[in-house]
Structure 1
Amino acid sequence: MSEPKLTAKQKEAIARRADGCCEYCRSQARFSPDPFSIEHITPRSKGGTDENDNLALACQGCNNRKYTHIEARDPVSGNLVSLYHPRRQRWADQFSWNEDFTIVIGLTPTGRPTVERLQLNREGVVNLRRVLRTIGQHPPIDSDQV
């Protein structure tokens, strides 16, 4: 049996809600060489649904690395904890930028393992952030970060 597809209108609404940025690494779709997709925060294989509250805009790198993971080990405590949930948590409460806004820093037991599991500081993403910063296009500013 085929699974229901999201409509173009749903996808557009989710992208608009995310201000066109990956809800994990904050990459901007308009500058990305890779496609963005709608990601299930809790995968269907783990009981997630297609409800808007379970969907996030994600770059291909974050989506691929998250895959079906919803937990990871906090590198500080060693505890198994839930990964960042963009509908239930504010990005700015879990993460921060370093002084030149090129590196995402995990601030909490949720943020730290999310940075590691999704590799939010992948070389290509950091390089793109550096270039965009020089032309005043990074970091993206949205209501969730301020």
Structure 2
Amino acid sequence: MIERAQACCEYCASLARYSMSPFAIDHILPLSRGGQTELENLALVCQGCNGAKYNKITALDPISNREVPLFHPRQQRWRDHFAWNAPCTHIVGLTPTGRATIVALQLNRFELLNLREVLYTVGDHPPEIYMNKQSSNR
């Protein structure tokens, strides 16, 4: 799983090597909602995203105010739903699912913004697999 995710959180794109806490394995469709423990339902995630997601599968899109599905790392491509702002510190939602996931999982948490800024200045952010559409990505 670590290799498949290239050692990044599959939601916020944080690199595991810079995390203060070990990454977790998320059941994308939670067990409590009928999900199974199989590779197509598992994602590598940081503790922040794992805690914020808990057993959520939907959230409100802040623009339309409609309940939409959260991003599904096995069924959707990150770059189709998210992009980076110009200094690559904030994740921007491109779709209702992207916007809802950013809010629900707090993908722009204060500590992530600081870390992204520092890593960007030394050329270690964003991870290549999470570059905007012009680059190769999931």
* Residue 72 of structure 2 is aligned to residue 85 of structure 1: yes
1:63 to 50, 69, 80: 50
Distance 1:145 1:112 in 2: 19
Q: Residue type matched to 2:54 in 1?
A: Y
Greater C-alpha radius of gyration: 1
Q: Residue type matched to 1:125 in 2?
A: L
Q: What's 1:46 paired with? A: 33
Q: How does 1:1-146 map to 2 (within 5 A)?
A: 14-142=1-129, 145=137
Deviation at 1:34, TM superposition (A): 1.8
Q: TM-score, normalised by structure 2?
A: 0.93
Q: What's 2:133 paired with? A: none
Unaligned runs of 5+ in 2: 131-135
Deviation at 1:110, TM superposition (A): 0.3
Unaligned runs of 5+ in 1: 1-13
SS of structure 2 residue aligned to 1:17: coil
Q: Deviations over 1:20-58 (max 9, x none)?
A: 000000000011112101110000000000010000000
Paired-residue identity, %: 55
In the alignment of these two chains, the number of paired residues is 133
Deviation at 1:102, TM superposition (A): 0.5
Q: What's 1:8 paired with? A: none
Deviation at 1:142, TM superposition (A): 1.8
SS of structure 1 residue aligned to 2:108: coil
- Please give the root-mean-square deviation of Cα atoms over the aligned residues, in Å: 1.2
